[in-house]
């Protein structure tokens, strides 16, 4: 592993890590951690966090990673549900969070912290520095040289390896229990699919509590032996990405959207010649780039143009994004917009989609090289079986399936049949080439009042391709028309406004500017024109929209910790806005309570304008 500290990359060898894990395991054993117990780990990707998880697993205990940006109250349920006595906290922020909820979690007796800054004068019972734990563990290991290996030897493939709490998109989070066999089998299946080796370089920057991060940078790290690089902080990720130049990269669509937005902002600030060159060569890239990426035949002149574009535009752009060495890049977690997907493949990034979930240990379907399409998520990977139920729901049978939902047999029985099929909750089908196509979450795919198909995520993804739209919530199930609530991207729209000498006093003020509404209206109408060409979704064009007065936030319950929109929660919370959209109003006053980073609450109020968007007649396919 590598960790960046004070601007310098510090290397950690496997031998050093093994020694640290042994000492930590011995220290945890002395502290009272026992086989089968759960241990919470909360923090960013750090070698010591990974070592703590390995040490707990070596003792037969079960690490439970929690989101480091979760507010304290969100940690109460997982800690009490898993009866957690031991916790690893990265720094003072996480220690304060755990100490705050201790009265609600009386069984939480031991908290071990890594970074001592700010904790010198803390005297709470059970609060111990990780350095002290390692020192006591070292003494125990020297006095009992065979202890650690004996504990490791007791492990069996079907023992529980880890527990991950779901994002809670539709309700209370559930603890997903996975075995060593499931996690390592899926990690190996993914590695075989893309021929991963120990030479890969990975940047670990997503929350360890997200199963995607845990599989890519922990399970696959153990299966392949590649190098995991831990950024210095969340604010330095882009700099660290450029310095490392990963060969294997994984990010949810939101990260790729943010990267593209940063590119578009910089291009708008560029001179006329650079802008013209960028847009001209990007037209070439969109036309021939994906075909070249997939090994298809392309004319000699187009090849020459693309090579020139690679020299002048695409190569420098990949380098600026930190993707110049990427051999394989994946996106997952939610559907990615086809335009966004095509952009990265057009500039020469081997971006592919995969399909999976927390319950399937991620790897269900993957896209083989030269068979990459924006509208599918690939073919089933090793040992995966797929069925499509009569109602269109995807069923999966795989070695990576969850063992159970912890202490929730009813929920387990709902999703896992007696013969091993898992109900994904996604609607889709297998096409003629054996690729899986996901339409939307089965519960989200609905119909408008006139019977037309309504797939909200598809519409939202098309809207979010525009750099000015950060988030969108499409409404319309069983209603007369589709309406949308929009979150602007404050950086992109702020930059746009500044170049037009448009003053604003913050997000709420900027969001309600008539010029910003005109900008968003133009984006929506372009999406409507695209939808008009889709026979199934022509009826799902956005008729009315508003721009929200605040950014959707996980702290306010509007997003999950993995930044998925909680559409039902938002529709209930902003019912007055929904009624205004469908009631034909031109504006609506609203006041909303918000939670700040320091835990304080406040309110944001505004009178929101509501506008109509132009819709288009469906484009009939040629006979």
**Burial label, 483 (beta-carbon count in 10 A; 0-12, 13-18, 19+):** buried
Domains in the chain (CATH in brackets) are 2-155+194-245 (3.40.50.12780), 251-349 (no CATH), 446-612 (3.30.300.30)
Output DSSP code: residue 216.
I
- pLDDT tens by residue, 566-595: 888 999 999 999 999 999 999 999 999 888
Does the pLDDT of residue 621 top 70, yes or no? Answer: no
Q: Distance between terminal CA atoms of the chain?
A: 59
- pLDDT tens by residue, 305-320: 999 999 999 999 999 9
CB atoms within 10 A of CB 447: 15
- The secondary structure of 244-289 as a DSSP string is H--SEEE--HHHHHHHHHHHHHHHHHS-HHHHHHHHHHHHHHHHHH
Q: What is the pTM of this model?
A: 0.83
Strands (E), 287-369: 328-331, 351-355, 365-366
- pLDDT tens by residue, 537-564: 889 999 999 999 999 998 888 988 877 8
pLDDT recorded at residue 599: 67
Q: Residue 290 is encoded by which pair of tokens?
A: 């994906």
Q: Is the backbone of residue 148 left (phi > 0), alpha (psi -120 to 50) or beta? A: alpha
Which residues contact residue 481 at a Cβ distance below 8 angstroms, ignoring those fewer than 6 apart? 448, 543, 544, 582
pLDDT recorded at residue 564: 81
**Nearest 5 degrees, angle CA 80-CA 84-CA 86?**
145
CB atoms within 10 A of CB 105: 20
Does the pLDDT of residue 403 top 70, yes or no? Answer: yes
- pLDDT tens by residue, 336-365: 777 788 899 999 999 999 999 999 999 999
């Amino acid at each position: 592993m590598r960790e960046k500290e004070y601007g310098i990359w510090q290397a950690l060898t496997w031998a050093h890590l093994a020694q640290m894990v042994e000492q930590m395991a011995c220290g945890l054993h002395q502290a009272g951690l026992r086989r089968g117990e759960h241990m919470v780990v909360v923090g960013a990707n750090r070698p010591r966090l990974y070592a703590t998880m390995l040490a707990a697993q070596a003792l037969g205990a079960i690490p439970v990673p929690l989101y480091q940006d979760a507010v304290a109250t969100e940690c109460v349920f997982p800690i009490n549900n898993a009866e957690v006595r031991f916790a690893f906290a990265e720094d003072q922020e996480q220690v304060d969070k755990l100490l705050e909820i201790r009265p609600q979690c009386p069984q939480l007796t031991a908290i071990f912290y890594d970074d001592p800054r700010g904790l010198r004068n803390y005297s709470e019972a059970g609060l111990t520095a990780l350095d002290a734990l390692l020192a006591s563990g070292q003494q125990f290991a020297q006095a009992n040289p065979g202890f650690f290996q004996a504990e490791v030897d007791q492990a069996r493939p079907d023992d529980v390896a880890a527990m991950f709490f779901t994002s809670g998109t539709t309700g209370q989070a559930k603890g997903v229990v996975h075995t060593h066999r499931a996690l390592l089998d899926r990690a190996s299946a993914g590695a075989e699919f893309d021929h991963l080796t120990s030479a890969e370089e990975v940047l670990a920057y997503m929350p360890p509590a997200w199963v995607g991060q845990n599989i890519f940078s922990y399970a696959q790290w153990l299966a392949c032996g590649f190098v995991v690089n831990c950024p210095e902080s969340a604010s330095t990720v882009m700099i660290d990405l450029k310095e490392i130049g990963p060969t294997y990269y994984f990010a949810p669509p939101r990260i790729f959207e943010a990267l593209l937005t940063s590119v578009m902002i910089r291009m708008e600030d560029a001179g006329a010649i650079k802008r013209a060159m960028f847009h001209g060569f990007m037209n070439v890239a969109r036309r021939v780039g994906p075909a070249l990426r997939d090994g298809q035949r392309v004319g000699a002149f187009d090849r020459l143009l693309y090579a020139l574009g690679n020299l002048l535009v695409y190569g420098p752009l990949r380098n600026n994004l930190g993707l110049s060495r990427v051999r394989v890049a994946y996106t997952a977690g939610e559907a990615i917009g086809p335009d966004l997907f095509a952009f990265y493949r057009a500039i020469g990034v081997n971006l592919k989609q995969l399909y999976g979930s927390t319950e399937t240990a991620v790897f269900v379907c993957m896209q083989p090289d030269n068979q990459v399409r924006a509208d599918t998520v690939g073919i089933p990977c090793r040992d995966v079986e797929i069925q499509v139920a009569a109602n269109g729901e995807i069923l999966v049978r795989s070695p990576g399936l969850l063992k159970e939902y912890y202490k929730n047999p009813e929920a387990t029985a709902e999703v896992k049949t007696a013969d091993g099929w898992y109900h994904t909750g996604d609607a889709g089908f297998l096409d003629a080439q054996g690729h899986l196509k996901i339409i939307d979450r089965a519960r989200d795919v609905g119909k408008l009042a006139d019977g037309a198909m309504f797939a909200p995520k598809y519409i939202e993804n098309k809207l979010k391709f525009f750099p000015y739209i950060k988030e969108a919530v499409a409404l319309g199930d069983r209603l007369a028309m589709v309406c949308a609530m929009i979150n602007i991207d404050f950086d992109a729209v702020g930059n746009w406004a500044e170049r037009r000498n448009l003053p604003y006093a913050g997000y709420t003020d900027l969001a309600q500017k008539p010029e910003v509404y005109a900008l968003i209206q133009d984006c929506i109408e372009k999406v409507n024109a695209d939808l008009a060409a889709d026979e199934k979704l022509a009826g799902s064009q956005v008729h009315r929209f508003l721009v929200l007065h605040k950014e959707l936030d996980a702290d306010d319950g509007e997003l999950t910790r993995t930044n998925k929109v909680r559409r039902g929660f938002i529709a209930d919370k902003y019912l007055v806005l929904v009624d205004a959209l469908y009631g034909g109003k031109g504006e609506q006053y609203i006041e909303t309570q918000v939670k700040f980073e320091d835990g304080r609450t406040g309110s944001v109020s505004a009178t929101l304008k509501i506008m109509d968007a132009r819709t288009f007649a469906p484009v009939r396919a040629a006979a």
